[in-house]
C-alpha cells in the first residue's frame, strides 16, 4: 500500500469516527428529550387530575362574571 492509500484510509476512518460520535450525540439528545417530554406529560397529567374536579366551579364563576360584565357594559354604549 502506498502513502496515498494509507492517508486515504486514515482520512476515511477519521470521517467514519466523527460520524459515529455525531450519531451517538444525536441518539443521546433524542433519549434525553424523550425523558424530558415524559416528565412534562406526567406533570401535566397530575395537574389536570388536580383541577378536573374544580373545572365546573371555575366555569360557573366565569359565567357569573360574564353576566356581570354584560350588565355593566350595557350602561356604556
Grid coordinates representing 46 are 397530575
Grid coordinates representing 36 are 424530558
The residues, ordered by sequence, that sit 6+ positions from 65 with a Cβ below 8 Å of its Cβ are none
Mean pLDDT across the stretch 35-42?
96
**Rounded to whole angstroms, how far apart are CA atoms 77 and 63?**
22
For residue range 40-65, list pLDDT tens digits in order: 999 999 988 888 777 888 888 899 99
Task: Note the pTM of the prediction, 2 decimals.
Answer: 0.53
Residue 27 in this model has a pLDDT that exceeds 70: yes
Grid coordinates representing 66 are 360574564
The CA-to-CA distance between both ends of the chain, in Å, stands at 93
Residue 35 in this model has a pLDDT that exceeds 80: yes
**Rounded to whole angstroms, how far apart are CA atoms 68 and 2?**
90
Amino acid at each position: 500500500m502506498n502513502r496515498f492509500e494509507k492517508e486515504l484510509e486514515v482520512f476515511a476512518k477519521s470521517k467514519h469516527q466523527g460520524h459515529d460520535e455525531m450519531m451517538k450525540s444525536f441518539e443521546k439528545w433524542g433519549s434525553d428529550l424523550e425523558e424530558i417530554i415524559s416528565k412534562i406529560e406526567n406533570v401535566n397529567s397530575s395537574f389536570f387530575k388536580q383541577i378536573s374536579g374544580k373545572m365546573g366551579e371555575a366555569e360557573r364563576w366565569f359565567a357569573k362574571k360574564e353576566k356581570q360584565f354584560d350588565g355593566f357594559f350595557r350602561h356604556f354604549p
